[in-house]
Structures are given as structure tokens and as C-alpha cells.
């Protein structure tokens, strides 16, 4: 007999009998139980009771047999599970947005009140809404009306397209009123007097960038800028236009715009340049006229001097040089200009300023 | 194992809708697949594979639920809840144990929850139909058909019902865990180790639970032979 067998007592074996019956003991335990049972009557009787109890439990009808012996419950469970899985697999339903659902519900329940409400709303819309819309569309349209308060940005200037330009006289002012329809980042209408800085800025820009704007637009710009010729920026733009604009009408118009300042050196130089280099006879004639006019208006004119010659201011040496240069250019034109009218006009101009030339 | 007719008609290999002979053959072939392959297919979103898995195990699951809950309504709830949990969490199954063990872990947890809720609030539960009073309350057609089965011996049935009623009464005295262990051991035929795996506990703990359950039942059913 092994040492283990010697130690097994009823107290050790009894708790194992439950598991021995349902075959949940180890091989060692099973062997020791068998050996103990062979010599222990009490434990053998307890084992018999355990087996009988176990058999009774197993033989008793189970709830599952009684409650679903036919398998109907199982079928029901399967069907319900499939439906639940369908619900899980299905994409979530998108609820349609139903605006004014409460109003529709209210109207469905109260047809008379609904009819009256609709008539009232329709009447209000007809009386108030339509005139309001007309009024607003007249004011705003598609274009933004700018009262020339904010200067245009360089981007706006570089992107703008002129769709209309109107120059009209301003009552009580030399500076005309300009209405300029532009397509920049958004359509806009620029209105204001030509001497207002922002209007002047746009007009000057258009004169300076002759390649981007139509000659007719440039002519209108020059017409409007004539009153602002004392502004340095405008004056530079006009001088440049007179020298370089590819359109002779624009050059001529630029010279005309400079009429009031023809006696000043930079303008006179432009006039002389026009006489010597401009290919268009009309421009040259205009330059002759302006030069003669400027010479006629000279306050230092000796012929128009007061009776006391001593009191008359002596012409500056540079002024005389300039005058002489003009005379030489005119003489040159009189002799060599290909255009007879220019030659004639130059001769007339020389005669007109003859007394001065004699000095 | 029989698949529902609609599944055979409309499911293709990927569990998508459609109908063709190829799909029918594919679905039928799922019945021959081993458990691991079926689980893998179900994890990949194959609905038909999942349903095949359900059909392999749901009879035992419902049986366990019926024996534990004693009421068809509760058993149906357990069945549905358990398999929906399996469906939602199948992607978490990593084949570290058998699918059967994993499934039973979910089922027993659901059963334990129901039993504990019932224990905590017995008034919320519908009264259990007493076997002797069932005939009076039977209104369902299918329930009535069951009584006409020729295999039922009225005398044996009477005795069995009496024993069953006493056992059921005695089982009510057990704790939810003891009931589950006792049921899984004696009526599901699982080994203690498998029960421990399903309950997420050790074999020794399960052994103690079974021992206590048996002692209590023997005390309750002292004269039962």
C-alpha cells in the first residue's frame, strides 16, 4: 500500500465523490477513491447515493425539452435574430428635412384660417414686396456705386476694364463731373469731379497705360484732366501722352490739355519735340499754335512793354535761349516740313512773333 | 444544417445580395467549412458565414438559456442579446480560444446578468408557468400541438413534471453562478475547465461552485430518489 493510500480517510474521500460521479477527478484521485471504497462501506453507500441523485437529476425532464421540444422557439429566435441583423446591416435612414412642418400641420387642421392667411400673405407680397424689390434693384443693380471715397488698389487698377465713361460739365466748377463704369474685382461705377484725387488717379492711370485702354477713352480722360493740369501727376501723364501715345489724336489732345501751361519749360520742350519729331502734321500744327500762343502771352514781351523801358523786367538769359530755339525750329519747319500746311502755319507763326525775333 | 431559403436564394459568397446558382452552391458549401474558416469569413463581413456559425451553436445556446431562465421569453431575449453581442464583437475574437468557448463566455455572461436582474427585482419578471397549470393558459396554436405528440406517456410525464418542479424549485435557491455551473456541467455536459473558460474563472473556482450547488440541491431534494 502506497503512502497516499495509507493517508486516505473518509474525510478526504467524501468531498471527491461528487466529482467522481461526474468524472471530474484526476487519475490519482480516481485510484485512491477506488482503493478507499474497496475497504470502506460508508463511503461506498455515500457513492451509491451520489450516483442515484445524479441519475435523478439527469433523468428529470429539462425545461428546454418542455419549452421548446418542437423547435418552434428556436425558429422564432432565428427569425428575430435575422431581422435584428438586417437592421444592424442596413444604412441609417436619412430623415428628410421638412421645413415649416409645424406650419403645414397647423394649416392642414385649419383650412379656413389657412386660406385667409394665404390671401393676406399674397396681398402683402403684392403691395409691399414688389415695389421694394424694384426700388432695391434700381439702386444697387449689379454694380457697386462708389462715390470716389476710397482709392482703387493697384490690383483693382491693373484688372479694371472700362465699360463706360461720361464727362459732363459741373455746375459752378471748372472741373467736369466724371461717371466711370468699371469692371474691376466687381462691377462698380465711379462718379465724382475730375479734380477729386481718386477720380484723378483712375483717369491718370488710363492715360499712362495707353496700351490697355481704348483711344476714345483716353481722349475723354484727357478732356476731363484738362482742368487738373496743375497737378504734377496729371501733368506728367499729359506730357508723356503728348510724346509717346501711339494715337495722334490723343497726342494732339494732350497738347491741347497743356495749353494753359505752354509757357513753362517742360511743356515748351514737349512742344518743340513735337515740332521736330512728331510724324503727324496735325500734332505739329497744334504744337506750333501752342508755341506761338505761349510766346504771345509772355509778360516780358518787349513790344507790349510800358512806356518806360527802364521799368520793364529784362528777359532771363535762359528764356531768350529758349525763345531763339523755338524760332529756329519754326524756321526749319517753314523750310523743310513735308506738309505744306505746317510750312504755312510755321511761316505765319514766325510773322506773328516777328517783332520779338527782331529784338 | 439547413439554411433559410431566402439566404440560399439571395446571398452570394461575400454575403451580398443577388441570386445565381453559383451563389447557391457557395452558400451550401459554407456548411462544410471548419469553424475557424467560418469565423474568418464572418469577421470579413460575410453575413451568410455568420448565420452558418449561429446555426451550428444556437441550439445549445437556446437550450442553456431555457434551462437557466425557465421562461421562453427570457430565453429568447438571452439568445438575441448574446448573438448580437457576438456579431458586434466578432472582430475582437483573436482565436486565442475556441469560438465555442468565446461564444459561451458571452452567453453565460448574458444569462448571469438576466438571472441577477431577476434576483434583484423578482417583481419585474413574468410569473413562471407552473407545469400543472400550463394547459389552462395555453393559447398558442403551436403550444397546443405539442401536447398531441404520441411519444408522451401521461404517467411518466406526471412523475417527471413533479421531479422537474422540485428540481426547479431547488435550483432557484442557488446563486446565479452556481446555477450556471450546475446547468453547464450536468445538462450541457461541459468539462469543468471549459466552464471555467466560459465564465472567465479557474477550474478550481468552478469546482467549488459545483460542490456547493450539489450540496444545496441534495439538502433541498433530500427525499428525491
**Is residue A324 located within the same domain as residue A253?**
no
Q: Which residues of A touch B84 (CB under 8 A)?
A: 81, 84-85, 88
Shortest CA gap B95–chain A (Å): 23
- Closest residue of chain B to A87, computed from CA coordinates: B84
| pLDDT tens-digit profile, chain A (359 residues) | 444 445 578 888 888 998 999 889 999 999 999 999 998 999 999 999 889 888 888 887 777 777 777 788 898 899 999 989 888 877 665 555 666 777 777 888 788 888 898 999 888 888 888 778 777 665 444 555 655 556 778 887 888 888 888 888 877 777 788 888 877 666 778 888 888 888 888 888 888 888 888 888 888 888 888 888 888 888 888 898 888 888 888 888 888 888 888 878 888 888 888 888 888 888 888 888 888 887 766 554 444 444 444 443 444 555 667 778 888 888 888 888 888 888 888 888 888 776 554 44
Residue A296 in domain: yes
- pLDDT score for A304: 42
- From B3, B212, B198, B225, select the one nearest B102 (Cα to Cα): B198
Residue B140 in domain: no
As a whole number of angstroms, the distance between CA A73 and CA A67 comes to 8
Considering only the beta carbons, identify the residue of B54, B64, B146 that sits closest to A70: B146
- Closest residue of chain A to B148, computed from CA coordinates: A70
The interface predicted TM-score (ipTM) is 0.70
Residue B192 in domain: yes
Interval B160-168 mean pLDDT = 76
Pinpoint the alpha helices (H) of A3-140.
Answer: 3-7, 10-21, 27-39, 41-59, 63-67, 72-89, 101-109, 111-124, 130-140
Query: Which one is predicted more confidently, B96 or B157?
Result: B96
Q: pLDDT band for position B11 (50/70/90)?
A: very low
Does the beta carbon of B36 lie under 8 angstroms from any beta carbon of chain A? no
Mutant choice from A53, A55, A67 vs B, greatest count of B C-beta within 10 A:
A67
How many domains are there within chain B? 2
**Is residue B118 located within the same domain as residue B159?**
no
- Looking at A11, A38, A54, the residue that finishes a domain is A54
Residue B139 in domain: no
Question: Torsion angle of alpha carbons B157, B163, B168, B173, nearest 10°?
Answer: 170
**Is residue A231 located within the same domain as residue A269?**
no
- Is A85's CB within 8 Å of B187's CB? no
Quick one: CA dihedral A98, A100, A101, A105, positive or negative?
Answer: negative
Q: pLDDT band for position B68 (50/70/90)?
A: confident
- pLDDT score for A147: 57
Does the beta carbon of A85 lie under 8 angstroms from any beta carbon of chain B? yes
Residue B146 in domain: no
Q: Which residues of B touch A85 (CB under 8 A)?
A: 47, 50-51, 84, 87
Residue A347 in domain: yes
pLDDT digits (tens, 9 = 90+) for B98-130: 898 899 999 999 999 998 888 777 665 555 544
**Is residue B118 located within the same domain as residue B158?**
no
Provide the CA A28 distance to its chain's centre, in angstroms. 91
Considering only the beta carbons, identify the residue of A58, A69, A77 that sits closest to B186: A58
**Is residue B116 located within the same domain as residue B189?**
no
Residue A345 in domain: yes
Structural domain for A329, as ranges:
262-302+316-359
**Is residue B12 located within the same domain as residue B87?**
yes
Q: Which residues of B touch A21 (CB under 8 A)?
A: none
Say if residue B181 is exposed, middle or buried (CB neighbours under 10 Å; 0-12, 13-18, 19+): buried
Q: Number of A:B CB contacts under 8 A?
A: 113
- pLDDT score for B42: 92
pLDDT digits (tens, 9 = 90+) for B77-94: 999 999 999 999 999 999
**Is residue A228 located within the same domain as residue A151?**
yes
As a whole number of angstroms, the distance between CA B220 and CA B223 comes to 9
pLDDT digits (tens, 9 = 90+) for A8-47: 788 888 889 989 998 899 999 999 999 999 989 999 999 9
**Is residue A358 located within the same domain as residue A335?**
yes
Q: Are the C-beta atoms of B39 and B47 separated by less than 8 Å?
A: no
Q: Which residues of A touch B51 (CB under 8 A)?
A: 82, 85
Considering only the beta carbons, identify the residue of B58, B167, B207 that sits closest to A57: B167
Interval B148-152 mean pLDDT = 46
- pLDDT score for A359: 43
Interval B141-145 mean pLDDT = 42
Question: CB-based contacts of B11: which residues, under 8 Å, 6+ apart?
Answer: B17, B18, B23, B27, B47, B48
Q: Considering all CA atoms of chain A, what is the largest pairwise distance in Å, rounded to the nearest integer?
A: 172
- pLDDT score for B157: 64
- pLDDT score for B210: 92
Structural domain for B218, as ranges:
153-225
Considering only the beta carbons, identify the residue of B51, B64, B76 that sits closest to A73: B76
**Is residue B47 located within the same domain as residue B95?**
yes
Interval B65-83 mean pLDDT = 91
- Looking at B122, B142, B174, the residue that finishes a domain is B122
- Is A84's CB within 8 Å of B84's CB? yes
**Is residue A157 located within the same domain as residue A220?**
yes
How many domains are there within chain A? 3
**Is residue A168 located within the same domain as residue A218?**
yes
CATH number of the CATH domain containing B209: 1.10.10.10
Does the beta carbon of B167 lie under 8 angstroms from any beta carbon of chain A? yes
- Closest residue of chain A to B166, computed from CA coordinates: A60
Does the beta carbon of B217 lie under 8 angstroms from any beta carbon of chain A? yes
- Closest residue of chain A to B48, computed from CA coordinates: A82
Residue A70 in domain: no
- Is A64's CB within 8 Å of B58's CB? no
- pLDDT score for A211: 83
**Is residue B37 located within the same domain as residue B91?**
yes
Does the beta carbon of B66 lie under 8 angstroms from any beta carbon of chain A? yes
Considering only the beta carbons, identify the residue of A18, A64, A73 that sits closest to B67: A64
**Is residue A267 located within the same domain as residue A359?**
yes
CB proximity under 8 Å: B 75-94 to A: 75-76, 79-80, 83-84, 87-88
Residue A130 in domain: no
Question: CB-based contacts of B135: which residues, under 8 Å, 6+ apart?
Answer: B147
Provide the CA A118 distance to its chain's centre, in angstroms. 41
**Is residue B90 located within the same domain as residue B51?**
yes
DSSP B158-174: HHHHHHHHHHHHHHHTS
CATH number of the CATH domain containing B111: 1.10.1740.10
Question: CB-based contacts of B16: which residues, under 8 Å, 6+ apart?
Answer: none
| H/E element, B60 | helix B47-69
Residue A144 in domain: yes
Considering only the beta carbons, identify the residue of A53, A54, A60 that sits closest to B160: A60
Query: Which one is predicted more confidently, B24 or A13?
Result: A13
Shortest CA gap B142–chain A (Å): 8
Does the beta carbon of B70 lie under 8 angstroms from any beta carbon of chain A? yes
**Is residue A219 located within the same domain as residue A272?**
no
Amino acid at each position: 500500500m502506497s503512502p497516499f493510500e495509507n493517508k486516505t480517510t473518509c474525510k478526504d474521500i467524501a468531498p471527491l465523490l461528487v466529482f467522481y460521479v461526474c468524472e471530474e477527478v484526476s487519475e490519482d484521485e480516481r485510484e485512491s477513491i477506488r482503493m478507499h471504497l474497496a475497504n470502506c462501506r460508508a463511503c461506498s453507500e455515500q457513492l451509491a447515493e451520489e450516483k442515484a441523485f445524479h441519475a435523478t437529476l439527469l433523468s428529470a425532464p429539462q425545461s428546454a425539452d418542455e419549452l421548446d421540444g418542437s423547435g418552434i422557439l428556436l425558429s422564432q429566435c432565428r427569425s428575430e435574430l435575422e431581422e435584428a441583423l438586417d437592421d444592424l446591416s442596413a444604412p441609417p435612414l436619412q430623415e428628410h428635412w421638412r421645413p415649416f412642418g409645424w406650419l403645414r400641420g397647423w394649416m392642414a387642421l385649419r383650412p379656413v384660417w389657412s386660406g385667409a392667411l394665404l390671401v393676406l400673405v399674397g396681398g402683402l407680397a403684392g403691395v409691399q414686396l414688389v415695389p421694394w424689390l424694384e426700388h432695391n434693384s434700381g439702386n444697387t443693380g449689379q454694380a457697386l456705386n462708389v462715390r470716389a471715397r476710397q482709392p482703387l488698389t493697384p490690383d483693382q487698377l491693373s484688372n479694371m476694364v472700362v465699360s463706360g465713361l461720361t464727362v459732363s460739365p459741373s455746375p459752378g466748377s471748372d472741373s467736369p463731373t466724371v461717371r466711370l463704369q468699371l469692371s474691376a474685382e466687381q462691377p462698380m461705377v465711379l462718379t465724382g469731379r475730375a479734380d477729386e484725387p481718386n477720380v484723378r488717379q483712375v483717369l491718370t492711370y488710363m492715360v499712362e497705360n495707353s496700351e490697355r485702354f481704348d483711344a476714345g477713352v483716353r481722349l475723354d480722360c484727357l478732356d476731363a484732366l484738362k482742368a487738373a493740369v496743375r497737378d504734377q501727376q496729371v501733368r506728367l501723364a499729359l506730357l508723356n501722352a503728348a510724346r509717346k501715345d501711339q494715337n495722334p489724336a490723343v497726342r494732339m489732345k494732350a497738347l491741347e490739355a497743356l495749353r494753359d501751361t505752354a509757357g513753362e519749360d517742360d511743356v515748351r520742350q514737349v512742344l518743340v519735340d513735337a515740332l521736330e519729331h512728331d510724324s503727324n502734321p496735325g500734332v505739329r500744327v497744334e504744337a506750333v499754335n501752342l508755341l506761338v500762343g505761349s510766346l504771345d502771352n509772355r509778360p516780358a514781351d518787349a513790344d507790349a512793354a510800358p512806356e518806360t523801358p527802364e521799368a520793364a523786367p529784362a528777359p532771363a538769359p535762359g528764356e531768350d535761349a529758349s525763345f531763339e530755339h523755338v524760332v529756329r525750329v519754326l524756321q526749319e519747319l517753314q523750310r523743310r516740313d513735308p506738309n505744306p500746311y505746317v510750312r504755312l502755319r510755321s511761316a505765319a507763326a514766325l510773322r506773328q512773333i516777328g517783332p520779338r525775333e527782331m529784338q | 444544417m439547413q439554411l433559410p431559403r431566402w439566404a440560399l436564394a439571395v446571398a452570394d459568397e461575400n454575403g451580398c445580395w443577388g441570386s445565381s446558382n453559383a451563389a447557391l452552391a457557395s452558400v451550401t458549401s459554407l456548411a462544410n467549412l471548419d469553424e475557424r474558416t467560418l469565423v474568418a469569413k464572418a469577421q470579413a463581413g460575410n453575413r451568410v458565414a455568420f448565420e452558418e456559425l449561429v446555426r451550428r451553436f444556437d441550439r445549445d445556446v437556446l437550450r442553456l438559456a431555457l434551462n437557466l431562465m425557465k421562461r421562453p421569453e427570457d430565453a429568447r431575449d438571452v439568445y438575441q442579446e448574446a448573438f448580437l453581442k457576438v456579431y458586434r464583437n466578432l472582430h475582437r475574437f483573436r482565436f486565442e480560444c475556441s469560438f465555442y468557448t468565446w461564444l459561451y463566455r458571452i452567453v453565460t455572461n448574458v444569462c448571469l446578468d438576466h438571472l441577477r436582474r431577476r434576483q434583484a427585482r423578482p417583481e419585474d419578471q413574468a410569473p413562471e408557468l407552473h407545469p400543472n397549470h400550463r394547459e389552462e393558459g395555453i393559447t398558442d396554436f403551436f403550444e397546443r400541438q405539442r401536447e398531441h405528440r404520441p411519444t408522451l406517456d401521461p404517467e411518466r410525464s406526471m412523475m417527471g413534471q413533479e421531479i422537474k418542479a422540485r428540481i426547479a424549485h431547488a435550483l432557484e435557491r442557488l446563486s446565479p453562478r452556481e446555477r450556471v455551473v450546475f446547468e453547464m456541467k450536468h445538462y450541457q455536459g461541459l468539462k469543468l475547465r471549459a466552464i471555467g473558460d466560459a465564465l472567465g474563472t479557474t477550474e478550481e473556482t468552478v469546482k467549488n461552485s459545483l460542490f456547493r450547488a450539489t450540496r444545496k440541491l441534495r439538502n433541498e431534494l433530500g427525499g428525491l430518489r
